[in-house]
Structure 1
Amino acid sequence: MRDDPVVVALVNRAVDGDKGAWDELVERYAPLIWGIGRRYRLTPADIDDVGQGVWLRLIEHLPTLREPAALPGWIATTTQRECFRLLRAASRVDPVDPAEQRDAVEPAVAEEEVLRHEQRTIVRSAFGQLSQRCQLLLAMITKDPPTPYDEISRQLAMPVGSIGPNRARCLERLRRTPALAGLADDSGTNTGKSTGTRR
């Protein structure tokens, strides 16, 4: 996922002036910016301001981005800097040396947010491959709070006693989608390597 050829192609097309590619980059990475903004406990309006700053900086830096595949990390790091700048301007944090703040926080948080974003993208893609009925059932069960079984039964015309088995079948289909199966294979490979190292 880190060297996603789709991202590289989008960056190259956006550099060449393709507006559709730019719009797709914004749609793809806006949730990453929102995730980091929420981590800093910013208001939705503040996160919008941070996003505007990130996109403006990307317009300036996109043509000189050395590794297009590194774009998610660049966005995460730039978002953190914009969040910190906004908080400091609003006097909501104690003044500290910005370089020290970046060194202390950014690499770990940026890496974690990029990984979360990539995982969510994979899960959304896998979820979209399910039947509409499975999507509706899983969406109702995973809501916070979950939809009561009697309501699920009414909305989906499904007997209450069959909700559990249907949920299990839908989750199994989700696990077997190519995107999630690929993640499981990667994890299995990594686990095997680390087990071999321990011996």
Structure 2
Amino acid sequence: MSNSYTELDVADLVGRARDHDRDAWAELVRRYAPVVWRVARAHCSEADAKDVSQHTWITLAERLSRVRDPDRLAGWLATTARREALRLLASRRTEAQPDWWPEAVEDPHPEHWPEPRALRGARDRLLWRAFAALPERCQRLLGLLAFAPELTYAQLGHALGIKLGTVGPVRGRCLHELRRQLAVRGLCEGAAG
């Protein structure tokens, strides 16, 4: 691949990749593979994350001709990877356990015992409900910050259509609203006001 591809902006790369330019596709993968991988690993085991990553790239290849705003590609890839990971996890929950699966396995680690796991599960459900109550823009921004922390504010701004100088203040308002939502649900003190 020519070094000139590393200097192209995303719109040019997407255009060239649409025209079946392998080097442009390789550069897109090089740039955004870390984002896809981090989101996948945030939800799945390493083996499943490989499947999620692969499916995310296949989905992009299938829909590349429909990408309208290439500057938001990082956000689209992160969202696609998250949805694929959640789909994979949901499909696994519906699989029946085999007859040979042991009823109880002795675990010497208290953090793996049912009570702490149940409490974490309840806490996590409340956290996700609070997150779901946020405006979509906050969900997208905080999701990218959580699952793709390597993105710069400039990249976040491009992915979300937010001016660079306002990414930090929007982040602050979103975190404040999340704390307020958590306080309403009893997970965080003093922020409900």
TM-score if structure 2 supplies the norm length? 0.50
Q: Which has the higher helix share?
A: 1
Larger radius of gyration: 1
| Larger RCO: 1 or 2 (CA < 8 Å, sep 6+) | 2
